[in-house]
Amino acid sequence: MRTTYKLKKGLNIPLKGYAAMCSYLNETGTLYEIKPTDFHHITPKLLVREGDAVLAGSPVFCDKSYPQMVCTSPVSGTISSIVRKEKRRLAGIRIVPDNKEEKVTFAVVSPESLDQEKIKELLLASGCWMWITRRPYGTPARPTEQPLHIYISCFDTAPLAPNYDYAFADEEEALKMGLRVMERLCPGRVHLGLSDKTSVHSVFRRLTARKHIFSGPHPAGNPGVQIHHVCPAGKDRVVWTLTPLGLTVIGRLFLYGTYDTTRQVAVTGPALEKTGYVTCQAGTAIASFTQFPRKQGVEIRAISGNPLTGDSVGEEGFLGFHHQQVTFLSEGYHRELLGWARPLRFHRFSAARTYLTFLSPLLGKTAQFNLDTNTNGGQRAFVITRDYQKVVPMDIFVSLLVKAALAKNVEKMENLGIYEVLPEDLALCEFICPSKIEIQDTLKQGIELMIKEMQ
């Protein structure tokens, strides 16, 4: 079964620095970090101490509300330090690897031979459960509930996003096994979202599930946008989502009986001399990506994830749990006199067509820009315009929803569709916002309020 959706709203940001189609084996990292902040709205309980030895697959922390939900170590080694922030909040668990690659072993079984509860127990014990995200709210899935649907988006349209056809070319067996596991958890209601540009030779074309073909600019690749058109989430309509990476990790567990977070990470950005893909584990130190030299004389911001929704971790930071991309951008501290009044600048990009770049025949449709982190202005009065609706292919009044979140009006947020969106779905609104409102943070605070009020 296959359906097609043509999305016209959105915006592709023509940023320089896409990852070249070549892979590098990353040097063995000297330090890894697992961050509880990668999992929204969980209260972590530490299960290890400094100096403890761990294997790949050993639990390091759990959720206090659901103690059976554990996060496990991606490598074997020794706990070197516990990182805490204000009020002793757990911020990270750092691990020095022993380079022995010793792993906790789990039973290798066919998912068809297990009932749902046994499959859940295996996913929970191994740490693979943390790859499943729940909508609404974008929190880790609750093991006590049954979803109406499970959805996997098999492409990404974010700026400089990795090419999934390339990154998962050798993972067909693991992906197919992961799908078999998901079918046991939600029989007949597992969906795959594919791009109309997905290669006919892609591994995702060979997967068996309900397929939905999407075309259009970013955020067409976001699972939230696809779910909105296929199987909308709601207060009483729980939908689980996974990334292809999470599906692969689950498939490896059932194929080999080990917890393996190995991934192809796209190292991207205009601040690099060279880009490409690197094979590494979750929590890898960004500093270990030495194969990609930075441009000289440029102050750089290192982002785990894509430029719109990623975490600014710095070059001393670590790769996020769910991330399959690292972006290096130039810091934009400079200011320009009357910059908005100088339209004859062909090196500038504007979503509002402020500059004449879009008319330049020299640049054409393939023009790419060396964008930096400059926001070109500060926060000002929140003026309602139609700009947001141009980049959000969902039937949601974004301006009113954001205002309701600012006002902490739970009833209005509920009526205006907060159950269907996550901050990533409105990231483009923040990029084009003429008022420079931090829309993603505002929506995140609104979601946290909803969770608190609805408990």
Q: What is the pLDDT of residue 351?
A: 81
Mean pLDDT of 17-23: 95
Q: For residue 387, give every residue at least 6 positions away whose Cβ sits within 8 Å of its Cβ, in sequence order, or none.
A: 352, 429, 432, 433, 434
Cis peptide before 136 (omega within 30 of 0): yes
Residue 309 or 370, more confident: 309
Asked if 369 and 14 touch (Cβ cutoff 8 Å), the reply is: yes
**344 pLDDT above the threshold of 90:** no
Residue 364 pLDDT greater than 60, yes or no:
no
Is there a common fold for 2-11+106-256 and 32-97?
Answer: no
**How would you class 383 by CB atoms within 10 Å of its CB: exposed for 0-12, middle for 13-18, buried for 19 or more?**
exposed
Domain boundaries, the chain: 2-11+106-256, 32-97, 375-454
What percent of the chain is predicted at pLDDT more than 90? 83
What would the mean pLDDT of 258-269 be, rounded to a whole number? Answer: 97
Q: Position of tokens 């969902």?
A: 394
Which pLDDT belongs to residue 358? 67
Q: Model pTM? A: 0.95
Q: How confident is the model at residue 92 (pLDDT cuts 50, 70, 90)?
A: very high
Question: Mean pLDDT over all residues of the chain?
Answer: 93
Structure tokens at 14: 């023509």
What's the pLDDT band for 381 if we cut at 50, 70, 90? confident
In this prediction, residue 154 has a pLDDT band, given cuts at 50, 70 and 90, of very high
Q: What is the pLDDT of residue 363?
A: 52
- Phi, psi at residue 372, to the nearest 5°? -120, -165
DSSP string, 174-234: HHHHHHHHHHHHSTT-EEEEEETTS-TT-GGGG--SEEEEEESSTTTT-HHHHHHHHS--B
Could you read off the pLDDT of 224-233 as tens digits, one per residue?
999 999 999 9
445 pLDDT higher than 90 = yes
Q: Which CATH architecture has domain 2-11+106-256?
A: 3-Layer(aba) Sandwich (3.40)
User: Residue 285: what pLDDT?
Assistant: 95
Q: What is the pLDDT of residue 423?
A: 97
Read off the pLDDT of residues 267-315 as tens digits, 9 standing for 90 and up. Answer: 999 999 999 999 999 999 999 998 999 999 889 999 999 999 999 999 9
> What does R_g of the chain's alpha carbons equal in angstroms?
22
Choice among 55-59, 168-172, 330-334 with the minimum mean pLDDT: 330-334
Range 32-97 has CATH code 2.40.50 = yes
